[in-house]
């Protein structure tokens, strides 16, 4: 069972590391400076990641609203002109006549789909830049990676303290899930809380 292959290895590793480093009698979790420092690092990283996520969501929201407004007009133009070559012929300069006017109009009609796709792509890219979508997404991604690093440091911390082990399990469940349903019972067995 996939979930159980993770936890015993973590518990075994931390127990072994604890014995090897003489930390089998470390202070209680609430008093261990090294442990508390890791928790503080994770809390700070979580706050930064949350703020970055909010900024990214806000930027994308503005972008999506502006693009939806643009696409409304874009779609109206597409629906009005696509499949109607006569509109392009009629739009040609009045000095053009006969075959010249028709051929030029048909050429405009044939170029219409490519022109519209380019217009859509260029406007989308411009709005992305205007509202800083990619920029804020990159900031959030970096902040998220930092938080994941802080969480991994917590999980890797060597300790036999049941409170610390329970905290590690809680983080694993919260951030990586418990698809097999094996972690929550193990957490309950440690904390005594359902």
Over the stretch 5-23, which tens digit does the pLDDT of each residue have?
A: 333 333 333 333 333 333 3
Identify the burial level of 147 via C-beta atoms within 10 angstroms of its C-beta, where 0-12 means exposed, 13-18 middle and 19 or more buried. Answer: buried
Beta-carbon contacts of residue 150 (< 8 Å; ≥ 6 apart): 38, 41, 42, 45, 46
| Residue 183 confidence (pLDDT) | 59
Flag whether pLDDT at 49 surpasses 60.
yes
What single-letter DSSP state applies at residue 27? Answer: P
| Residue 22 confidence (pLDDT) | 34
Predicted TM-score (pTM) of this structure: 0.69
How far apart (Å, rounded) are the C-alpha atoms in residues 5 and 154? 19
């Amino acid at each position: 069972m996939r979930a159980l292959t993770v936890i015993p290895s973590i518990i075994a590793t931390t127990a072994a590391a604890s014995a090897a480093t003489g930390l089998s009698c470390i202070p209680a979790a609430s008093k261990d400076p090294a442990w508390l420092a890791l928790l503080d690092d994770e809390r700070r990283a979580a706050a930064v990641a949350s703020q970055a996520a909010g900024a990214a969501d806000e930027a994308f929201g503005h972008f999506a609203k502006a693009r939806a407004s643009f696409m409304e007009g874009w779609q109206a133009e597409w629906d009005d002109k696509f499949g109607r070559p006569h509109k392009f012929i009629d739009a040609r300069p009045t000095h053009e006549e006969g075959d010249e006017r028709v051929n030029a109009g048909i050429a405009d009609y044939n170029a219409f789909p490519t022109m519209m796709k380019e217009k859509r792509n260029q406007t989308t890219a411009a709005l992305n830049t205007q509202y800083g979508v990619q920029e804020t997404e990159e900031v959030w991604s970096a902040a998220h990676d930092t938080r994941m690093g802080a969480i991994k440091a917590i999980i890797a911390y060597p300790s036999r303290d049941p409170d610390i082990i329970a905290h590690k399990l809680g983080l694993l469940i919260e951030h990586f899930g418990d698809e097999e349903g094996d972690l929550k019972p193990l957490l309950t067995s440690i904390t005594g809380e359902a």
